[in-house]
Structure 1
Amino acid sequence: MNPDDLKILVHGASGRMGRAVLRLAGERPGLRVVAAVSRSGEILPEAPEVPVLPVARLAEAPACDLVIDFSLPEAFDAALAACLARGAGLVSGTTGLSERQHAALDAAALQVPVLWAANFSAGVAVLHALVRQAAAALPSWDADIVESHHVHKKDAPSGTALTLGEAVVAGRGRAPHYASLRAGDIVGEHLVQFTGQGERLELVHRATNREIFARGALEAASRLARRGPGRYDFGQLLLADGRI
């Protein structure tokens, strides 16, 4: 895989995140979107020059080095199978995956580079590390995670909230409590709260623009292009060279 001439296929292209990836991909030198896959197969205004295929014709997509997937759990298996068939890497932000699908990611990582993340924000990657540190330092305090998203988000708690919960467990050995809010057009907010006697610690991340996630996914794709087969973590990939 040549990181200086990276051919990308966008899977789930008609969704909010897929459209953002298409819109921003042209800003990155050395990266070229060769095709997009959506439910309808209609040309998308974000990238009118990019050929769009319906999901049923995914196998007809041109050769690519890497698939960026922001689809739904029921469409995810086809994207992963396409990567294995082509020897292409995968960057996926599809949430709500089953245990079987996560196990399939582990198996695929033996053959191709794979990166799945519930959130492609650099700020959330740092938040994850801070949450684990706080949980380890305050093991007896109550821990709660409150996440807020737009009314169209289906999974609850969000994938990001569950990932932050894993950081709490890693720090103190016990899971937090979760609360989910769905309102208006909230892009994404996550509050991790530790409460002791007479004091409270709050760690918060607020996303106000969906483009941060698309930019993060494209950055992950560029960095994954330099890696061999394996299962990669977004935060560790960002920090591999000592900087976000």
Structure 2
Amino acid sequence: MNNSPLRLLIHGASGRMGQALLRLAAERDDLQVVAAITRRSPAQRVVEGVPHFAASELSGAPAFDVAIDFSLPEGFDPILALCLERKAGLVSGTTGISETQRQALIQAAASIPLVWASNFSLGVAVLDELVERAATALAGWDCDIVESHHIHKQDAPSGTALTLGAAAQKGGAQPHYASLRAGDIVGEHLVQFTGMGERIELTHRATNRDIFARGALFAAVQLNGRAAGSYRVRDLLSA
């Protein structure tokens, strides 16, 4: 039995999610961040024991088991290529990727285990499954998805709302969307199924952004050692 810590590479380490990942991983004995990758040259090469590299130095990163990527679309191709080269797993929450990049993910799944998700909350992963089950069982009911976020979020509907909508469509429903932007709301998603004389509401509320980083770390641990393939967060919950 291998009791060595899981070796992580954090890609997009200077961003809000990257910083949360570094902080939360440091609190765990089963994880070791072997490289933190930032867009620009780091001011310090080693920060709290973690080696830092610029994106241009990615190919020189030490050996790792799984990469966690929360970067930008222009940084996505290099980290995917490195994971393929190293035969390492990939956990990515980078949004805004192109159709070409999505196809590259599909092709990469034949060689490495990977998960891409718009939301790494474990609660949202469960909600996704519940939405599909409800849509399957409630044929002909109206389906509405209402999502609320802080005033600075620009995309609407949110990526999570669209993912939940895809789950509803898989179950046979045709979702309608509404988006609210107010205050500092971290994220709320309501999926409502309405029939004649009754209504079901499935809701998830995020109150702390750390849940997304914790979910990504969970996914990395669960992904390690799995067969090549494309996994959803909900697939990893039953491990």
TM-score (norm. length: structure 1): 0.88
Among all aligned residue pairs of Structure 1 and Structure 2, give the percentage whose two residues are the same amino acid: 64
CA distance in 2, matches of 1:150, 1:77: 30
Q: Measure how far apart 1:199 and its partner are.
A: 3.2
In the TM superposition, 1:88-167 aligns within 5 A as: 88-167=88-167
Does residue 235 (structure 1) correspond to residue 234 (structure 2)? The answer is yes
C-alpha change, 1:52 and 1:125, in structure 2 (3 Å) is: same
In the alignment, is the contact (CA less than 8 A) between 1:26 and 1:32 conserved in 2? yes
C-alpha change, 1:203 and 1:196, in structure 2 (3 Å) is: same
Ranges in structure 2 where 5+ consecutive residues have no aligned partner: none
C-alpha change, 1:206 and 1:3, in structure 2 (3 Å) is: farther
CA distance in 1, matches of 2:43, 2:179: 35
Does residue 87 (structure 1) correspond to residue 65 (structure 2)? The answer is no
In the alignment, is the contact (CA less than 8 A) between 1:150 and 1:186 conserved in 2? yes
CA deviation string 1:221-242 (max 9, x = no partner): 11111212211121111113xx
CA distance in 2, matches of 1:198, 1:75: 50
Aligned residues: 236
Give 2:202's aligned residue.
203
Which letter maps to 2:216? Answer: A
Q: Measure how far apart 1:154 and its partner are.
A: 4.2
TM-score (norm. length: structure 2): 0.90
Please provide the CA RMSD for this pair: 2.0
CA distance in 1, matches of 2:52, 2:154: 25
SS at match of 1:51: strand
CA distance in 1, matches of 2:35, 2:194: 49
Q: Measure how far apart 1:127 and its partner are.
A: 0.8
In the alignment, is the contact (CA less than 8 A) between 1:66 and 1:88 conserved in 2? yes
Ranges in structure 1 where 5+ consecutive residues have no aligned partner: none
C-alpha change, 1:185 and 1:39, in structure 2 (3 Å) is: farther
CA distance in 2, matches of 1:25, 1:197: 49
